[in-house]
Chains A and B, each alone.
Chain A
Amino acid sequence: QVHLFQSGAEVKKPGASVKVSCKASGYTFTTYYLHWVRQAPGQGLEWMGIVNPVGSTTTYAQRFQGRVTMTSDTSTTTVYMELSSLRFEDTAVYYCARGGGIAALSDAFDIWGQGTVVTVSS
């Protein structure tokens, strides 16, 4: 069964960094890309970036450039998203999602993690 399992909730102070993990199982890790999407409370979905597990090549949304780092570890089939210089407005649920790659039927996001709540509070 294909599954993306994310790390637990985090509470951080402004200016700190947070690192969220997403462990993939049930499929060949290197044949699909993984994305990060966030959702602020009561708001819509915002794409943050994509990581190709082969070589950890990445593309980030411009608004997060310089603050976000996405990496992958093929030995543990895990991808990571680190967001630095946290602000109150970074409070959101962060999702990883599978989408695209050589084995994908399309680039749509067919599998999602359960979400990780990140709260930025002083």
Chain B
Amino acid sequence: DIVLTQSPDSLAVSLGERATINCKSSQSLLYSSKNKNYLAWYQQKPGQPPKLLIYWASTRESGVPDRFSGSGSGTDFTLTISSLQAEDVAVYYCQQYYYTPRTFGQGTKVEIK
């Protein structure tokens, strides 16, 4: 199975500051013939289901604020929140959808400093 390792496990960021979460895959998620990375990012708040933020590693889902951005290719990916807002407090997960079984990272908890 593909292992996704997120770092850090948690981080505390001041309001308005940048938050950066990394996700490293045990195998490449780049489908060369389509030039697409099969990686998504989700946000999960307490008591709620996950919410899709980013797919194809860098495409923002409709309605997601533009302070959220995704980057990376192959095995190394990053989710950036450019200016942290109070409502961004949540756990963030990366997920690969290239291989079966689909797998998720262990999650990164983002809090306000």
Query: What is the interface of chain A, defined by CB distance below 8 A to chain B?
Result: 35, 44-47, 50, 59, 61-62, 95, 97, 99-100, 105-110, 112-115
Known: A47-B102, A47-B103. Contact between A100 and B49, CB under 8 A? no
Known: A100-B97, A109-B95. Contact between A35 and B49, CB under 8 A? no
Main secondary structure of the interface of A (DSSP, over half): loop
- Which stretch (B18-26, B51-59, B80-88) binds chain A? B51-59
The contact of A44 among B52, B101, B104, by CB within 8 Å, is B104
Q: How far is the CA of A1 from the CA of B93 in the complex (A)?
A: 25
Shortest Cβ distance from B36 into A: residue: A106
Chain B contacts with A in 26-72, Cβ cutoff 8 A: 38, 40, 42, 49-52, 55-56, 59, 61
Quick check: A115 and B95 within 8 Å, CB to CB?
no
29 A-B Cβ contacts within 8 A?
A44-B104, A44-B105, A44-B107, A45-B42, A45-B50, A45-B104, A45-B107, A47-B101, A47-B102, A47-B103, A50-B102, A95-B49, A95-B50, A97-B50, A99-B97, A105-B55, A106-B38, A106-B40, A106-B59, A107-B97, A108-B55, A109-B50, A109-B52, A110-B52, A110-B61, A112-B49, A112-B51, A113-B49, A115-B49
Quick check: B50 and A112 within 8 Å, CB to CB?
yes
Quick check: B97 and A106 within 8 Å, CB to CB?
yes
Contacts of A47 in B (CB 8 A): 101-104
Q: How far is the CA of A108 from the CA of B98 in the complex (A)?
A: 10
The answer to whether the Cβ of B106 comes within 8 Å of any Cβ in the partner chain is yes
Contacts of A114 in B (CB 8 A): 49
